[in-house]
């Protein structure tokens, strides 16, 4: 078969699979049949099917999970507002899902210079670095890296090992264990692609889209107490933001003299 013919066949298969996704025969979150089965049912080669699926993945309609197969990209399963600073645990529970934690790691180290500056620490101050993968109904949805001034635990006499509790709500620990309630936060949001290490933690493919939220939380005195970097699987979260209008003055009515 010529290259042109192969391209046309792949386009035809892509359109057929796209139609099945749009009319509901292949539902959101559904695992597609194996490539060989699709090839047989459509009367084409496995190579043609693979090329069609690659095109659909680039369009964002399907997602490939190494060792698991190809799935119709699901609609967002978790929705949140960026106007509120809620813990991940609260967001997941509010959707009727069970929050969980895997791959938790904790280490104590000297803060990198940039992190020390953002947390207003001296160059030799130590921090606790907590890495976790957060799950919703056992699906991996967020990889978090929290950097915490170690003196908060030292002063409060709290064992940092509590950070490894799989049911931990970090904000609750701050309020009830450390006596330092988080009251404000400043966050920045960027879009990135998963490198090999993050992709492995989130059980997704390298190069998959992620939402990266970097945030500094402060207490009632305005002191920074937590630096978080969170990596969200893009197809599981939908964020909303409340935006106020510019408040321009209304046009004056000449008729009623106002």
Q: Is the dihedral of CA 137, 139, 144, 150 positive or negative?
A: positive
Regarding predicted confidence, which is higher, 257 or 67? 67
Q: Is the dihedral of CA 32, 33, 34, 35 positive or negative?
A: negative
Q: What angle do CA 218, 210, 53 make, to 5 degrees?
A: 170
Are 3-72 and 78-240 equal in CATH topology? no
pLDDT score at 4: 62
Residue 254 has pLDDT above 50, yes or no: no
Class of domain 3-72: mainly alpha
pLDDT score at 153: 96
Q: What does the pLDDT average to over 200-207?
A: 90
Residue 2 has pLDDT above 70, yes or no: no
Q: Can you give the residue ranges of every domain in the chain?
A: 3-72, 78-240
Tokens of 182: 């988080």
Class of domain 78-240: alpha beta
Tokens of 229: 């970097």
Quick one: pLDDT band at residue 196, thresholds 50, 70, 90?
very high
Under DSSP, is residue 243 helix (H, G, I), strand (E, B) or coil?
A: coil
Placement of tokens 């960027």 in the chain: 190
> What is the tens place of the pLDDT at every residue in 19-43?
888 777 888 778 899 999 999 999 9
- Select from 146, 147, 85 the least CA-distant residue to 113: 147
The terminus-to-terminus CA distance of the chain in angstroms comes to: 78
């Amino acid at each position: 078969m010529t290259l042109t013919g192969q391209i046309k066949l792949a386009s035809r298969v892509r359109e057929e699979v796209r139609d099945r996704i749009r009319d509901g025969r292949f539902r959101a979150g559904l695992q597609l049949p194996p490539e060989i089965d699709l090839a047989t049912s459509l009367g084409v080669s496995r190579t043609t099917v693979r090329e069609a699926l690659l095109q659909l993945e680039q369009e964002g309609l399907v997602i490939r999970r190494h060792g698991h197969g190809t799935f119709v990209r699901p609609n967002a399963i978790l929705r949140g507002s960026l106007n509120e600073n809620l813990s991940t645990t609260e967001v997941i529970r509010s959707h009727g899902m069970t929050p969980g934690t895997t791959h938790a790691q904790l280490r104590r180290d000297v803060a990198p210079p940039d992190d020390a500056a953002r947390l207003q620490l001296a160059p030799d101050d130590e921090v606790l670095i907590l890495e976790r993968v957060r799950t919703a109904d056992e699906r991996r949805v967020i990889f978090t890296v929290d950097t915490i001034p170690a003196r908060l635990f030292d002063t409060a006499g709290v064992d940092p090992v509590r950070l490894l509790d799989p049911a931990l709500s970090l904000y609750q620990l701050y309020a009830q264990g450390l006596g330092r309630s988080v009251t404000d936060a400043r966050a920045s949001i960027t879009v990135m692609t998963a490198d090999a290490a993050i992709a492995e933690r989130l059980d997704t493919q390298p190069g998959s889209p992620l939402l990266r939220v970097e945030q500094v939380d402060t207490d009632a005195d305005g002191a920074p107490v937590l630096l978080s970097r969170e990596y969200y699987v893009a197809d599981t979260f939908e964020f909303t933001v409340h935006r106020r209008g510019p408040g321009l003055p209304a046009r004056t009515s000449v008729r009623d003299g106002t």
